[in-house]
Structure formats: C-alpha cells, structure tokens
Amino acid sequence: MTKQKTAAEAVALIPDNAVVAVNSSSGLCCPDAVLEALGERFDAAGAPRNLTTIHPIAAGDFFGTKGVDHIAKSGCLTKIIGGSYPSGPSKAEPPLIWQMIIKNQVKAYNLPSGIIFDMLREGAGHRPGVLTKVGMETFVDPDLEGGAMNPAAAAEPLVRHMEFEGEDWLYFPAIKPDIAIIRATTGDQRGNLSFESEGAYLGAMEMALAAHNCGGTVIAQVRKVGQNGSIRPHDVHVPGILVDVVVEAPEMLQTTATPYDPAISGELIRPLDSFQLMEFGVQKVIARRVSQELKKGWSVNIGFGVSANVPRVYLEEGRHGDVTWVIEQGAVGGIPLLDFKFGCAANAEAFVASPHQFAYFQAGGFDASLLSFLEIGADGSVNVSRLKATPHRTAGAGGFVDITARARRIVFSGTFNAGAKMHLDDGRLVIDREGHTSKIVPAVDQVSFSGKRALMQGQEATYVTERCVMKLTEHGLMVTEIAPGMDLHRDILEQVSTPLRVADNLQVMNGALFRPEPFGLTP
C-alpha cells in the first residue's frame, strides 16, 4: 500500500472546524502546494469552513510563496495563532491575512514562537498546557494585551495568569491539532520523511506527533516520493507511523525566492570569499560597533535587521569562527543569510529542531543575542513587533520574546531616528537632514521586551545606533558613547522625546568604525 495522494485528495480529508498546524518559516519548509489546494477546494466547494490555523513561524512571504494567504478567506479561516506573519515592504499591498486581521474578520493572536511549539508538545503528551514566565510584562501578558492582535481575539483570551507553588506564571493551553501539514524533501510510500535538501526541520516532528496523538491526520508535502526502504533509518526525521498522506510537489521552492541552494541544506560548503560583504555606510558602522560587544568562543543568537550583518563583519575582519551563530529556525554555526532568506544559514555545522533551539533560548543557555528595535522606551523597553501605520511591514514578535526572556546579554541595534539623511566623512558621522520620527520615546507602543523585568533579572541590555551607544541602568537609558562628529546636545539629547542620562565618563566611539577599511576587530 502507498500513502501517496494528490494535493486535492489530501485536503479533502480536512473537515470543517478543524485545528490545522502548519510547519513553515516564510518560504522555508512551507507546504505551499497543499495550502494552495486547500484554498482551491474552499473556492470550489465552500469547504472546509471555520478553520483554526497554528503557525509557530509565518507561512508564506511576498516573493512567490503565498502560504496562509491561500486560505485567508472569509468563512474558511476564523482563527489564527501565529508566532509571526508574512511581512514585506510597507508600500506593497498587505497580504490577505493582514487585511483580514485589520478588518477584524479573523481572531488573530501573536504568541512567542517557542511557546507555540511548547503548546503543541503539551498537546502531543495530553498534558494541560504550558506554565512559563516567558512573555511576562510584554504584550503577551494578559495584563497588557494577552497576544491579541484585534478586538475579535481580545474577546476570546488565550493566555492567563496562574499561581503555582507560590509563584505567578503565564499559562498557555495545550494545542491539539486535528491536522498537521508539514514538508520534507523525500517521502517513501510508507510515509517516512527525510529533509536532506531543506534548510531546517522547524517543528515537523512535534506537529506530526501532536496531530497523530490527538487522533488527527498528518499530511506531508515532499519534493519526491521513493520506494519503501530508500531512506536510511538515520536520515528519517519523521517516521511513517506518524504520517497519513504524502503529496509530491517537485517544483516547490527551497526557501523564499530560492529554488535550491545546496549550501542552505549543508550539501555544499561555500567558499568564504563567495559571501557578499556589506557596503560601507551607516548600517555597516552600526553592525561593526555591535560586533565589539562579543567575545571569542561565545554562542550568539542573531535576529532580522542590522544585526544579521554582524557575521559578515566577522568574516571581513578575518574573525569568522570566533563566534558560533544560532538562529531560531535551527541552524547552528555557518553564516546566516540576509533579507528574506533570513532563517537559513550557509555552511551550518548542525541543524536542530526549532523546539529544541527555543528551549535553549528560553533558559538563557547562550551567551548573547543581537536584535533590532522599532522603538526604545525611557525604561529600556523595546517594541519590535508592531508598527501601527503599516502593520504588515513587521512579522510580529516571532521568537523575540522567547529569546529575550532570560538572555544574559542583549544588544539592540538600529538607526537613532527615522528619516534622517547622513553620510560618513573621514571617520566622522555627518547629519545632512534630521529625521522626522524619534525612535526613543517615553513609552513604546507595544512592549516586546520589558526593561523593568530585565533589570529585575540582572540582564545586560545595550542599544547601539550610529550616533551613540546606550546602556540600560536602574535609572533608565544612559548614553555611554557618542560617534565622532556628533554634538551631544544637538544631535542626540535634543532629538529624542524623553530625557536621557549621560555617563560621567562619556566615550567617543572608535573612529576606525567610520572608515571603509577593516577596523581591526579583536577577539
């Protein structure tokens, strides 16, 4: 017998009111052919209806993988729980899922990616849910927003406080999916799955286990189907005993806008000189200064934005290998890729499942995290998850809340304000035109990271911009360094909407950072 079916036959197994878990990270591992067939079935037959979908990391992107947009239709989708959502340029038309969220047509929640994986694992084990302190005093906390993205979701809260052994915890209920839609490279006729040409496993095993143990159906999209016994046992990452249907989709993209790159899946080691380095400019100055916060031998998480370029600073400075980069999708080592290929790494040393990576992050097992910011509050809190004017420009929090919950050291990076025109001149920063929007504000619009909680837990937080470096102190933000060429009052203190403290021993940033040649990064 064979478990192979067409995509149309597979989605015919999905009933009304089903809870559907989807394993994806933008285009990476996205089972897009199955999601497309599901949307086509709804268009033709008006079924299945009233689906709830679960996305620990976003399904789909702006560059050829529609993902959740295939089913973002009134009557088809009624609830969505996502760690992140498709995001892209602010001038682009918002994805259909964002349009539904903004119009309050779907109950939409943004919960930490790692916690969603935990909720699935609790469902797989028939346990009641997750007790954790991850998310406390952030927008996930029900004392703030409870992760609700619109009024429809706020009317049906998911997260609550619970006392256990004399302590206050956040409680997230277990997720028991009826359907899991996952993706692999190869499936055999018995449903065994291997991932040899994928850039991650994400949570494929956890989703399959949760759906199977809850009496549901597991649908796997693969590039090719082989005979039974054609996959070595050690290469099987999801066994056929958990898989009900295998759908062959030979034309699927490996990741966002990428048909196939063997370096992403570890099938080829790229020469180091093949990686494009950053062009000299303000963003490179910021990434260089961030690189100075790290030490040889550290394990360092990086997020989307300026910080994603820090590995290439290490490469240019001849220090590649001094630091091991770890990203939430599961890659360990190598060189993380940029832009909307973020989430993949070339030349990785290992791939681990995302739920294991998040357990590593949630307990602060790594040495430092490099992350971006949209806003910084007077108390050191950071908003990275919501931009009111163009919400689809941000993906939501993703793993940000998991990562920052107990990280020992966090370096946030970004430009000092929005809209400024600047240039670099002989080792100095020159402001040609001031920005129109301050990013340092009395209170952030959404708390993705709590400065108050960080101080309570003894976490170190540093904020690196092109104009200055700031530290989180018990008295709020303190300017500790300024860029050469900057006037402290005119260019920094007068350009923010909240007072900043200034260190008694204020330093000037190393002028070599502001020149095009390598600056001499030391271990």
What type of residue is 222?
V
CA distance 386 to 396: 6
Residue type, 118: D
Catalytic residue among 137, 206, 316, 328: 328
Token pair listed for 42? 């709804």
Please give the Cα distance from 36 to 26 (Å, whole number): 15
Structure letter (DSSP) for residue 335: E
CA Rg value for the chain:
23
Structure tokens at 213: 């143990």
Q: Answer whether 377's CB lies under 8 Å from 441's CB.
A: yes
Q: How far apart are CA 405 and CA 74, in angstroms?
A: 36
Two structure tokens written together for 482 = 């300024």
How far the first Cα of the chain sits from its last, in Å, is 58
For residue 258, what are the β-bridge partners?
A: 255
Q: Which pairs with CB-CB distance under 8 Å and at least 24 residues apart come from 454-459? A: 454/380, 454/404, 454/410, 455/380, 457/406, 459/406, 459/407, 459/408, 459/409, 459/410
Residues linked to residue 88 through DSSP beta bridges, in sequence order: none
Residue 236: other Cβ atoms inside 10 A: 18
Q: Assess whether 293 carries a catalytic annotation.
A: no
d(CA 503, CA 48): 61
DSSP state of 238: B
Helix H, strand E, coil C: the string for 391-445 is HHHCCCCCCHHHHHCCCCEEEEECCCEECCEEEEECCEEEEEECCCEECEECCCC
- Report the catalytic residues: 328
